[in-house]
Amino acid sequence: MDGMKRIERALSAAVEQSLEAALSHADGPTCPPLLASAIRYAVFPGGARIRPRLCLAAACACGEDDTSVADHAAAAIELLHCASLVHDDLPCFDDAPTRRGKPSVHSAYGERIAVLAGDALIVLAFQTLARGGANAPYRLVPLLSIIGRGVGVPSGIVAGQAWECESDVNLREYQQAKTGSLFASATMAGAAAAGADPGPWRALGDCMGEAFQVADDILDAASDATKIGKPVGRDVALGRPSAVRELGLHGAIRRLNLLVAEAIDSVPVCSGADGLRAVIAMEASRLIPRELADSVL
Amino acid sequence: MDGMKRIERALSAAVEQSLEAALSHADGPTCPPLLASAIRYAVFPGGARIRPRLCLAAACACGEDDTSVADHAAAAIELLHCASLVHDDLPCFDDAPTRRGKPSVHSAYGERIAVLAGDALIVLAFQTLARGGANAPYRLVPLLSIIGRGVGVPSGIVAGQAWECESDVNLREYQQAKTGSLFASATMAGAAAAGADPGPWRALGDCMGEAFQVADDILDAASDATKIGKPVGRDVALGRPSAVRELGLHGAIRRLNLLVAEAIDSVPVCSGADGLRAVIAMEASRLIPRELADSVL
């Protein structure tokens, strides 16, 4: 378990360092100060950073020869995730007053800067990807395609959010796009960054994305706001689909455990498969409080 | 002049075709229908398409060996421009009811879809760039960097828009970022797409960007809404800097003519320099109505 803690710390440090490096290009005297400040505010301090950690863990398991490509890809994925949170929180969507335990970006900086900070984060993600691919242009093409697909149209996180504006929603499509897509991008990008075939890595991302979504539903229904840093009961209030509403609290926890087992089973054959399975188990154990997870045993 | 008209028509056709190809990836049954429709609405029918035309003309003047890279880059640049218009028109910014002679995207589709359509267009631009670079990965790295710089932080169009949220504005920085940056990206991307050194191509884009900005100020002050398809007098009403306010109408027209001459002078040494100078003169002649341009002669 000491070894796992070391790996965990190394993954976290690599993610924060890559994000810091990415944001250093957004600062400087030519950048409007409010925008620069809001971008930093949206990225630090972070949440669980689960997507970039998965990306790095996948690249590591594939035996990457150059950590720089995966580091940049992981940062790009987290920047895109942060961008989506900033825009999702806007008054016209969730009108969320808080995020990660502090005022949301539009609450702190106003709506205009929040729109622009989201835009700038999306662009910065692709600039970051380009920097990472400078020495490996042949890996850049699949990386751009994988990450673009996870975030854009027709079925990335932006499309997922747009399903909330439709009267006739395909639930599976909605959840896959809104959450699953960027998780699938994370594991596939990790493989592609290491020069491996990304195809077999989609299932792991899909399972982890769905597990994360179910965990989020469980937290939204069972936890209190101080613990998760954003208002609770909101998804239900907004009429969003929820695993808890569909399966009940215990049913949802059982479903979460099943998805984690499926994720661990889906790790493709690779040099670091055993280590990656341990990392996934560790990441999964942090999704919901232990006492909730144990309540179905 | 017949030859110029043929070139003009060829540039226009190439831009529309590339945009159509880019958007075809955004359609399909898995894309939320409102979002797909809003994206198309934001891109077609277009405005002057001056940025992508400049990009193609620069690539052509450099003697490009593969038109596909420049076609994709030109489409990416126009998609980013369209994204910026959609977000600039939002209620929290200009609250513009119309754009290009029809209701703005948020007027037609609501604010939520307008935010998402802008986001999706930004992502689609980078996906389009990646498609164009699939067969030329070594050109993809500089293209991503050039286009990212033109649109993001610290000094692209998003940063330009963010200067409007600052109380202490560096005017030169503001205008260069808000308009000049994407024009500079257009000419530099054209060169990079053709495998040429993009550095010497910045001046041409800068001049054309400033000329376009001055022309826009002239139109805003002197034209009527039916001709330019968006409300007039708005920049002045919003307290924005304007060449007309600074130099008077005739002074602004003289400044425009000077900038166009400077642009033509700045064309770098290349195989198609003469043709490009003619294209620039033609593009410039369309910036403001003939009778206005002639009023200072």
Measure B116 CA to nearest chain A CA, in Å. 6
B32–A165 CB contact, under 8 Å: yes
Can you tell me the distance from the alpha carbon of A57 to that of A60, in angstroms, rounded to the nearest whole number? 5
Q: Is B173 on the interface with A (CB under 8 A)?
A: yes
What is the rounded average pLDDT for all residues in chain B? 91
Which is more confidently placed, A135 or B17? Answer: B17
Q: Is A28 on the interface with B (CB under 8 A)?
A: yes
What pLDDT, in 10s, does the model give residues B197-239?
A: 999 999 999 999 999 999 998 998 886 555 556 665 666 566 6
A153–B36 CB contact, under 8 Å: yes
- Domain assignments of chain B as residue spans, ordered by start: 2-201+270-287
Backbone angles phi, psi at B102, to 5 degrees: -145, 170
pTM of the predicted structure, to 2 decimals:
0.94
Residue A252 near residue A223, CB atoms below 8 Å: no
User: What is the CATH number that goes with domain A2-294?
Assistant: 1.10.600.10
pLDDT of B245:
86
pLDDT of B275:
93
Q: Classify residue A3 as exposed, middle or buried by CB count within 10 Å of its CB (0-12, 13-18, 19+).
A: exposed
Average pLDDT over every residue of A253-266: 96
Chain A interface, best mutation among B68, B112, B123, by max A CB count within 10 A: B123
**ipTM summary value:** 0.94
**Cβ atoms within 10 Å of B262's Cβ, excluding its own:** 16
**Cβ atoms within 10 Å of B27's Cβ, excluding its own:** 15
Report the chain A residue with the minimal C-alpha distance to residue B157: A120
Can you tell me the distance from the alpha carbon of B233 to that of B215, in angstroms, rounded to the nearest whole number? 14
Q: Is B32 on the interface with A (CB under 8 A)?
A: yes
Measure A292 CA to nearest chain B CA, in Å. 35
A154–B129 CB contact, under 8 Å: no
Can you tell me the distance from the alpha carbon of A281 to that of B16, in angstroms, rounded to the nearest whole number? 50
Q: Is A211 on the interface with B (CB under 8 A)?
A: no
What pLDDT, in 10s, does the model give residues A83-129?
A: 999 999 999 999 999 999 999 999 999 999 999 999 999 999 999 99
Instruction: Assess if CATH 1.10.3720.10 describes domain B2-201+270-287.
Output: no
Is pLDDT of B93 > 70? yes
CA torsion A153-A158-A161-A165 (nearest 10°) is -60
What pLDDT, in 10s, does the model give residues B251-279?
A: 999 999 999 999 999 999 999 999 999 99
Which positions in chain A touch B141 (Cβ < 8 Å)? Answer: 130, 133-134, 137, 140
What is the rounded average pLDDT for all residues in chain A? 91
Contacts of B80 (CB under 8 A, 6+ apart): B121, B122, B125, B147, B150, B151, B157, B182
A161–B110 CB contact, under 8 Å: no
pLDDT of B228:
55
pLDDT of B246:
87
Q: Is B31 on the interface with A (CB under 8 A)?
A: yes
CB within 8 Å of chain A, chain B residues 110-149: 110-113, 115-116, 118-120, 122-124, 126-127, 129-131, 133-134, 137-138, 140-141, 144-145, 148-149
Name which of A123, A134, A158 is nearest B116 (Cβ-Cβ). Answer: A158
pLDDT of B231:
62
Report the chain B residue with the minimal C-alpha distance to residue A25: B154
pLDDT of B181:
96
CB within 8 Å of chain B, chain A residues 179-198: none
Contacts of A235 (CB under 8 A, 6+ apart): A216, A217, A220, A242
Residue A249 near residue A215, CB atoms below 8 Å: no
